[in-house]
Amino acid sequence: MSARRVCVLGGGAWGSVFALICRDAGNDVTVWARRAEQVDEINAGTNRAYVGDVRLDGIRATTSLEDAVSGADLVAVAVPSGSVRECAAAFAPYLRMDASVLSLVKGVEAGTLSFMTDVLVDALGCSPQRVLAVSGPNLSAEIARHQPTGTVVAGSDAERAGYVASRIHTAYFRPYVGSDIIGAEVGGVVKNIVAMAVGACTGMKLGVNTRSFIINRGLTEMARLGVALGARSETFLGLAGLGDLVATCSSELSRNFSFGYRLGQGMNVSEALEASAGTVEGATSCPHVLALAGRLGVDMPIAQATQDVLDGHVDVETAALRVFRSPRVTDGVDARAV
């Protein structure tokens, strides 16, 4: 049995690329996917629907959770946020007692309003110290071509986080260690919502000033929610905050940005979702983020305007005007009306 065995749960774009990172870092990697035809393709060295012509040589795939998880000392979860609890409950019986579990998922669970690391801890019945989050400017298509970037491995156990970071460190993928797991989770979720808004502005042919404004005020909303949840404000100036936000809001490779762009060009929500490849996590998470913000008394006007568009209450032009005409407040996390 390999002492460096990694299991990646999910054969989508990010799961496939994270498997590549782990392989290049010297690990024995197995990917679990639901569909037998996708497993066969990965075992043949490709996964064209998600990573194009990038080769996946040396990576094994299986449809068996028991086969994938048993014996792995590092398990990375890369399934859609709505499937995390079900997936975790299913693989829990096969998880090694000392294994670390990485969440690659950016989302908030409906009903519980829990972030994904909390969902994993609950569903697995394990110590929170064993569950970590990976978050940063990590557009999978760029990483697949070995374009350099960084990420944060955030966890409450610094020694474990450092060890996990060493296991996924390559010449093109530089992990940093963080202890603010709440901040990493909030950053990873809210940046998708802001990216939809920035994409919509871009689709409406608004300029750099407008996009910069939305990114900056979106960062403020992100930090405001995070601090209310107990995160450290400085986390949002790092890779899991500003770094991830800028990447997601700047590239057509981002599903959330592209979804918003289509809305800005005149598509309705159903058309834009249908044209999107894979899950648009921002659209899934936005109502749950707003419910969490409401519970905490946190004001998030960009997120609210975005949700009103998703709900069909307003069009993108009206939503944009609402943001720009909102009451004047002081700058920063602790906003006050003026």
The whole-model pTM stands at 0.93
Mean pLDDT of the chain: 94
pLDDT at 326: 75
pLDDT digits (tens, 9 = 90+) for 142-199: 999 999 999 999 999 999 999 999 999 999 999 999 999 999 999 999 999 999 999 9
Whether 182-324 and 5-179 are alike in CATH topology: the answer is: no
pLDDT digits (tens, 9 = 90+) for 231-275: 999 999 999 999 999 999 998 888 999 999 999 999 999 999 999
Residue pair 287/307 in contact (Cβ under 8 Å)? The answer is yes
Task: Tell whether 255 is in a known binding site.
Answer: yes
* Token pair of 185 as six digits: 């989770």
CATH assignment of 182-324? 1.10.1040.10
Spell out the residues 6+ positions from residue 61 whose beta carbon is closer than 8 angstroms to its own: 11, 30, 31, 32, 33, 38, 39, 40, 42, 43
| Active site (catalytic) residues | 191
Task: Tell whether 160 is in a known binding site.
Answer: no
Task: Tell whether 14 is in a known binding site.
Answer: yes
CATH class of domain segment(s) 5-179: alpha beta
If 0-12 CB within 10 Å is exposed, 13-18 middle and 19+ buried, where does residue 196 land? buried
Return d(Cα 164, Cα 155) in angstroms, integer.
Answer: 10
Task: Tell whether 244 is in a known binding site.
Answer: yes
Q: Which of 47-56, 232-241, 272-281, 300-309 has the lowest mean pLDDT?
A: 272-281
Q: Which helix (H) or strand (E) covers residue 127, if one does?
A: none
% of the chain residues with pLDDT over 90? 90
Indicate the domain borders of the chain: 5-179, 182-324
Task: Tell whether 13 is in a known binding site.
Answer: yes
Task: Tell whether 205 is in a known binding site.
Answer: no
pLDDT digits (tens, 9 = 90+) for 4-40: 999 999 999 999 999 999 999 999 999 999 999 999 9
